Amino acid sequence: MKRKREEKEAAAEKKMEIVWQTPANPPEKHDYIFRDGRRHVRPYYFEFISHVKNRWAGKTIVDLFAEEFKGRPYDYYVGAVKCGRIQVDGEMVPVSYIVKSSQKISHFVHRCGLLPWLIARFTWIDCRHEPPVMAWDVPILDKEDDVVTVWKPATVPVHPCGQYRKNTVVGVLQAEHGLAPLFPVHRLDRLVSGLLILARNATRADLFRQEIEAGKVQKQYVAKVVGVFPEDEQIVDVNVNYNAREGRSTVEIRVHLQYTGHPIANDILYLSENVTNRSSEGVNADRAAHSPNNCLVPENNSSDKYEDSTEEDFDIDPMCTNCPNLVPKGYDGHEEGLWLHCVQYSGSGWVYKCPYPDWAVLT
């Protein structure tokens, strides 16, 4: 029985197609899978490199991983060494192999998109299952020699961060429009939609940065809030702290509005207790209202109609704890965008605009 199981696992390993992803392998159209109104990313392997600690020397290869990376059971590491998922200096070794200082250890592992917290000089091959985002296009609003502006959909992060790499605005623009490199000029949180300015070279990005840091750039947002917002100017003195790893601000315009007593009407995090949760109908309406497909954008940038992909769109890794699911463990799949939208940025001799979403149009 044990031999049959080992033969089955070996056959599955041989059949499995490993797609290596490095900065030299940019996102492509076929990397995306569309299901139930969500843009998923086909699971892929990614290489991470870090630096070795001397205290690891003298341990067996299995003990090293079992003691330092406790997220998997001991038996997993035994099997990983035996089948070549864990290698030393690019070669298979026995489970009793004693590691030496400065050796390169490779771990070919199928796991979710969180980067491992490593302190060693070795290569970590991570097969990522990125969280899905809403299946909306990223419409191009303006395309110039050194600047491109787009309508960023809600739920999509701007650039690679945390669990996201391909399911980002930068990734989608590279995959679907061949736009690279791109340098985001300003921040726009993942759940926020609207205008996003991207420089097409480092020089132009630096000029934008200098204007922003000098306080010469004006920003305009539109939000749907609780209550009747006063017509006169409101000044709120709250610091903004940006978390680059998560791609979001810990304090942002959402807190400014809550501070005034008018939180964003669908922002459950900052709504007061007397505001009830949205109904399922409200959530569906919210989803439709955020979609760039329902708003006025240039005709040549109209969004594609993404159809659901078939069930056989990616290879299953027999050792993966996430397969056969596309999404990583822990993702609940019910995330929606906020009623917060970036409308305009303007500076010295330039102005860029984005159309209003449906929820912001007065009827």
Beta strands per DSSP E along 61-160: 86-88, 105-110, 123-128, 133-134, 140-143, 147-152
CA distance 363 to 345: 25
Q: What residues are labeled active site? A: 189
Give the pair of three-digit tokens for residue 189: 């949180």
| CB contact set of 332 (below 8 Å; sequence gap of 6+) | none
Q: Take residue 51 and report the two structure tokens written for it.
A: 């630096």
One-letter amino acid of 91: E
Q: Which residue has the tokens 């299953």?
A: 316
Helix (H) or strand (E) holding 205: helix 202-213
Strand partners, 60: 98
- Give every CB contact of residue 291 below 8 A, 6+ residues apart in sequence: 134, 136, 153, 303
DSSP class of 342: E
171 and 165 in contact (C-beta within 8 Å)? yes
Q: Is it true that the peptide bond before 181 is cis, omega within 30 degrees of 0?
A: yes
- Looking at residue 163, what DSSP letter applies? T
Q: Which two tokens stand for residue 151?
A: 């309508």
Q: Sort residue 161 into left (φ over 0), alpha (ψ -120 to 50) or beta.
A: beta
With contact defined as beta carbons under 8 Å apart, do 336 and 342 qualify?
no
Are the C-beta atoms of 240 and 259 separated by less than 8 Å?
no
